[in-house]
Structure 1
Amino acid sequence: MTKKTSIAIYTLKGIGLISIFSLMIVVSLLNLFLDGNLLANFLYFSGSVVLLITVGWMAFAFMGRIELDGQDLLVFRNFKCYRFPLSSVTFYFGKNRHLYRGSYEWPLFIVGEASTPNGSGQKVTLKLIGSKWKNRQFQQFIQEHLEGKIHPLPKEDSWKLNAFSQLEIIEDEVHEEPKPALTVTRKLSDFIEFGADQGNVKKTVFYDIKRNELFVGKSVPFPMIFLPGAVFSYGLYALTENLTVRGLFPLLFSFIFMLLLALYQFKNRREKSVVEVVPYEMPRDYFATQKSNGLKTYALIFLVALISAVFSWLYLLFGSFLLLFLTIVIWYCFLLLLLSGQF
């Protein structure tokens, strides 16, 4: 059997975090049966599980393996396998992003036409995160196994990392294509937002109820209300706690306030935003892709809601400012996912 050529992309920090959280789960699970303090050990076990499925998952989500399979390139990430024809693949890597006090991450982007189950191609951009050492290894991997089979590596000044460490193609911004003649300018309130166009979050598919037509255009940013929302929410919690008693009611009151603020921001966005759209030709696998994205959205919303409930419960039991802060952060993420309805 022929051994396939492959390279794993990961960071030692990510491996370390997952190992520590997994060890915490094992230790706390053993203590559940060996130690007499059942409640405390159960809380430690629950906290370890929450850390693994949040912080640990964030580290795992950007690990992966790249494998050469004949004329195709296989990318394994998040328990999924993406198959790219080599002729469609472009790699963007070599730039780092500063995290904190001398710590850097080295993103690697794979852009290409991934094969779908029905045989068609879908443009996909995958992101992996490695280290400086992995960056050098991958450069050598390309020179030895992929040189001449994939697109040439882009020039350094043709792309950049934005503030969220996402890929931005500078050439697309400079050489912007002229707008089609069928471009229509409408209010956002005239449409229903169906979600990202085939996974491209920069474009959104819009549905016109009156005309029963689909359009596509640039995505409208969602309101970022976290900073004022968190400050007001915490202030209301402290005020309500002083007027009544510490417990569930002040926490629910602050949550309801943030929900009302989020609803107002989203309503204001729909009424005041204007979009430029063009008629949308629906791909053959559109509904299958949207169904998959919808299931991911519901699963993510449920997970974030569960984490928010766990942190709220822990705060009510132990009363830590850090727990309150994490509770508000997770609650905000839950509202953003629930109200946006996009993934």
Structure 2
Amino acid sequence: MANIQIDHLGKRYGDKTVLADFSLDLTDGECFTLLGPSGCGKTVLLRLIAGFEKPESGTIRIDGQVVTDAGDGSSVSPDRRGLGMVFQDYAVWPHMSVFDNIAYPLKLAGIEISARRERTLRAIELVGLAGLDARLPSQLSGGQQQRVALARALVSEPRLLLLDEPLNNLDANLREEMRFEIKALQQKLGITILYVTHDQEIALAIADRIAVMDENGRLRQLGTPEEVYERPVDDFVFRFLGIANFLPVSRRDGALCVGDQAGDWPSLPPAHYGDTLTAGFRPGDVQLSRDGAGLTGTIRRASFLGAQFDYLIDIGGALIRTALPSHDALALGLLFDEGDACRVGFHSVQWFDRAIPTSDKV
């Protein structure tokens, strides 16, 4: 296991600054997910921690040992940092068997043959590839190749495991299966994992803590998955962690209105917020009915997605999405067609003290 301290890290490529004054701490034995859009510097940070690149400023410590110090130019080589890394593209050698791929780091380290075999077979079993050790990568599925890459990273018994979007090339079912297996492995082995991704579902599923980065490489929020999802610090975090609906709201004669309609809200914004507000909510936060209380809306799109119905609703010119479980829609008589009128209420909303531009691409 390993503690990681990243202090005031800076990295540039030419005149482009990727990371500026970036600081972050990881605690021993946690699964930490760095979540952000493509190009925000997530992979660059992993490469700096691994020692594949050097920063222009700042320091990196692993278990108190300085492994990178831009101030004096010192840098511990990647093979002496006690870490394993799994890349997005697997990077398995096509001419080597499963066994030889996984054993290769031990061979490079000069591990004696019998110990090398024992540790390699143990890693193969750990990732569920027992009996496949003689196969070539071309004889494996994408998920099995990713397991080879994971076993190769684990066979050296690293104190830190760096995962660079390793599930991106898998289909949806395999991604779901592998994300739970990675979490189970982390809990079983007790190692520290830093996982970078732009996929919020993976981040929420496996992380003990999440750091959300924006497109400029800045940390916007740090916390547990529940904290970040339920209490986002701003609309960027709210929008990035799933489908986000925004409704423009104004205070009018003591009421909170959308257009000329006064809404019935499950919570009120703080008193110090101004008169121009935005209500943010997820599709599952919408309470849909045919009549009664609520804002009046019009169904603009009705989509059956198997387990749920997805509706696009127009409320005074603002478009929102709602997801309704199919069995609820059938049982409650909430099967709508395009053009139908409906009533919209809310189970939960997040309040933002400003107008937030909404998109018609929802």
TM-score range, shorter chain: under 0.3
TM-score, normalised to structure 1's length? 0.24
User: Which of structures 1 and 2 has the bigger CA Rg?
Assistant: 2
- Higher relative contact order at CA 8 Å, sep ≥6: structure 1 or structure 2? 2
Higher strand proportion (structure 1 or 2): 2
TM-score, normalised to structure 2's length? 0.23
Higher helix proportion (structure 1 or 2): 1
